[in-house]
């Protein structure tokens, strides 16, 4: 049972995968939910599960690429429940994309799908949380790929790294106002969307296990949460190694060993 109780939780990207599973694991315990994503039917199905577990839930279909829509979701959450205690910015996607085959537009699209979707919520959430009693937590589902340039995921790695940097700055600036920030860095997770995308996935974990790690991060609020342990250790080691050595290891990993 999660220790998060009696809180208003906003999850952006809750219609499937990790975000939907985090909502399920936090449901009950007096928590109130606002969940959003683009696919209305999938979102409504997750909302029904949350309500069946005893929580109130507002499901608001919206595209996080639209800053006005994102601000509207935050405003609707505040109108309904009075505050947002925990926001999990979870929208994103990282398709197989090698730098020798991409166009400029592909890179820009991946940047928008992973960076803009976070920024469009980050700005209105900071404005809301810094003004409410007790502040609040803004967490972002990043990736271990946001800690280093991963082959076949370059634009995704770059976009996630950009969000991490932004959150690092915001954590320092907003601490006096009680607004806390957590970057969550999963390794490979077996969600429906990434199944069959052809990428090798060392140390892949289940969606349920990944969500448990996310819930723990929301409870403990570290600056950075990296999992699973073997994949996080591999990334730490690769970052410490001289570039020719880490490059050779990454090349072999990308080729499926
Ligand atoms: N699976 C992995 O191996 C893995 C590893 C590391 C990090 N991550 C990160 O974990 C997060 C969740 O991924 P997942 O694997 O659980 O995949 P997923 O099932 O596709 O989840 C992504 C969620 O974000 C929503 N979303 C995407 N773009 C959106 C937009 N423009 N506006 C609103 N909602 C949007 C999707 O819903 P709609 O399509 O209905 O909008 C969905 O609910 C992502 O940020 C991903 O980068 C995943």
pLDDT tens figures, 33-84: 999 999 999 999 999 999 999 999 999 999 999 999 999 999 999 999 999 9
Residues with C-beta less than 6 Å from any ligand 1 atom: 13-19, 37-39, 42, 63-65, 90-94, 117, 141, 143, 186, 188-189, 191, 193-194
Which amino acid residue places its CA nearest to atom 14 of ligand 1?
17
pLDDT for 2: 46
Residue 244 lies in a domain: yes
H helices of 54-153, where? 67-81, 104-111, 117-129
Residue 138 lies in a domain: yes
Mean pLDDT for 92-102 is: 92
Which amino acid residue places its CA nearest to atom 5 of ligand 1?
188
Mean pLDDT for 224-231 is: 98
The token pair at 44 is 């409504």
CA of 206 to the centre of ligand 1 (A): 15
Provide the b/e sequence for 231-244 (b: ≥16 CB within 10 Å). Answer: bbebbeebeeeeee
Burial (Cβ within 10 Å: 0-12, 13-18, ≥19) of residue 95: middle
The token pair at 65 is 């690429």
Strand partners, 232: none
Mean pLDDT for 1-25 is: 93
For 70, the domain range is 8-254
Residue 85 lies in a domain: yes
CA of 241 to the centre of ligand 1 (A): 31
CA of 138 to the centre of ligand 1 (A): 17
Q: How far is CA 210 from CA 136, 143, 172, in A?
A: 23, 11, 27
For residue 196, pLDDT over 80 is answered with: no
Residue 128 lies in a domain: yes
Residue 156 lies in a domain: yes
CA of 245 to the centre of ligand 1 (A): 32
For residue 257, pLDDT over 80 is answered with: no
- Please tell me the least confidently modeled range out of 26-40, 109-123, 190-204, 228-242: 190-204
Q: Percentage of the chain with pLDDT > 70?
A: 99
Which amino acid residue places its CA nearest to atom 36 of ligand 1?
13
- d(CA 98, CA 221) in angstroms, rounded, equals 34
Candidate of 13, 113, 141 to mutate for ligand 1, largest count of ligand atoms within 8 Å of Cβ: 13
Residue 1 lies in a domain: no
Candidate of 64, 91, 235 to mutate for ligand 1, largest count of ligand atoms within 8 Å of Cβ: 91
Residue 3 lies in a domain: no
DSSP labels for 77-96?
Answer: HHHHHS--SEEEE-------
For residue 1, pLDDT over 50 is answered with: no
pLDDT for 195: 78
Mean pLDDT for 246-250 is: 94
Residue with tokens 């952006």: 12
CATH number at residue 12: 3.40.50.720
Mean pLDDT for 243-254 is: 92
pLDDT for 253: 85
Mean pLDDT for 232-243 is: 96
In tens, the pLDDT along 140-179 reads: 999 999 999 999 999 999 999 999 999 999 999 999 999 9
Per the prediction, the chain carries an average pLDDT of 95
Mean pLDDT for 101-119 is: 97
What angle do the packed helices 104-111 and 154-174 form, to 10 degrees?
40
Mean pLDDT for 191-216 is: 90
Residue 107 lies in a domain: yes
CA of 40 to the centre of ligand 1 (A): 15
For residue 11, pLDDT over 50 is answered with: yes
Count of the separate structural domains present in the chain: 1
Strand partners, 205: 189
pLDDT band at residue 187 under the 50/70/90 scheme: very high
pLDDT for 95: 87
């Amino acid at each position: 049972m999660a220790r998060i109780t009696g809180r208003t939780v906003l999850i952006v990207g809750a219609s499937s995968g990790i975000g939907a599973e985090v909502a399920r694991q936090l449901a009950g315990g007096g928590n109130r939910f606002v969940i959003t994503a683009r696919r209305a039917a999938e979102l409504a199905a997750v909302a029904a599960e949350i309500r069946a577990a005893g929580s109130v839930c507002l499901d608001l279909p919206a595209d996080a690429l639209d800053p006005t829509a994102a601000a509207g979701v935050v405003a609707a959450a505040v109108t309904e429940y009075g505050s947002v205690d925990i926001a999990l910015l979870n929208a994103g996607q990282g398709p197989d994309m090698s730098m020798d085959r991409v166009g400029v537009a592909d890179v820009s699209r991946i940047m928008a799908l992973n960076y803009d979707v976070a920024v469009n919520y980050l700005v209105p959430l900071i404005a809301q949380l810094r003004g409410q009693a007790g502040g609040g937590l803004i967490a972002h589902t990043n990736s271990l790929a946001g800690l280093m340039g991963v082959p076949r995921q370059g634009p995704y790695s770059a976009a996630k790294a950009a969000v991490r940097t932004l959150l690092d700055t915001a954590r320092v600036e907003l601490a006096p106002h009680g607004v806390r920030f957590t970057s969550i860095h999963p390794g490979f997770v077996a969600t429906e969307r990434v199944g069959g995308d052809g990428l090798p996935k060392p140390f892949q974990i289940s969606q349920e296990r990944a969500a448990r790690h996310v819930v723990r991060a929301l409870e403990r609020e570290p600056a950075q949460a990296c999992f699973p342990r073997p994949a996080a250790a591999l990334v730490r080691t690769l970052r410490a190694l001289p570039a020719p050595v880490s490059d050779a290891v990454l090349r072999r990993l990308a080729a499926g060993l």
